[in-house]
Amino acid sequence: MRIIITGSPGTGKTTIAKLLAKKLRCKLINEADFSLERGIAKWDHENAELEIPLGKLKKGLEKELEKHERVILEGHTLCEIKLNVDAVVLLRVHPEILQERLERKGYNEVKIMDNVFCEGIDYCKKHVYRRYNRSKIIEVKNEKGIKETLNTIIKELKGRGIC
Q: Which of 150, 85, 87, 96 is nearest to 120 (CA)?
A: 96
pLDDT digit of tens for each residue in the chain (163 aa)?
A: 999 999 999 999 999 999 999 999 999 999 999 999 999 998 888 877 889 999 999 999 999 999 999 999 999 999 999 999 999 999 999 999 999 999 999 999 998 999 999 999 999 999 999 999 999 999 999 998 999 999 999 999 999 999 8
Q: Kindly state whether residue 162 falls inside one of the protein's structural domains.
A: no
Residue 98 in domain: yes
Is residue 114 domain-resident?
yes
Give dist(CA 117, CA 43) in Å, integer. Answer: 23
Per-residue pLDDT at 14: 96
What pTM, to 2 d.p., does this model score? 0.94
Number of domains in the chain: 1
Q: Cα dist. 51→8, 56, 77, 152 in Å?
A: 16, 11, 10, 32
What's the pLDDT score for residue 112? 94
Distance CA 121, CA 47 (A): 23
pLDDT at 59: 97
The domain in which residue 25 lies consists of 2-152
Query: In sequence order, what DSSP letters do the residues of 8-45 get, joined into one string?
Result: STTSSHHHHHHHHHHHHT-EEEEHHHHHHHTT--EEET
Q: Provide the pLDDT for residue 161.
A: 94
Closest by CA position to 49, among listed 127, 121, 111: 111
Residue 139 lies in a domain: yes
Q: How confident is the model at residue 122, as a pLDDT? A: 96
What is the CA angle 109-112-113, rounded to 5?
Answer: 90
Residue 158 lies in a domain: no
CATH assignment of the domain containing 130:
3.40.50.300
Instruction: State the Cα–Cα distance between residues 105 and 125, nearest whole angstrom.
Output: 23
Q: According to the model, what pLDDT value does residue 144 have?
A: 86
- Does residue 159 lie in a domain region? no
Partners of 91 in the β-ladder = 140
Q: What is the pLDDT of residue 73?
A: 98
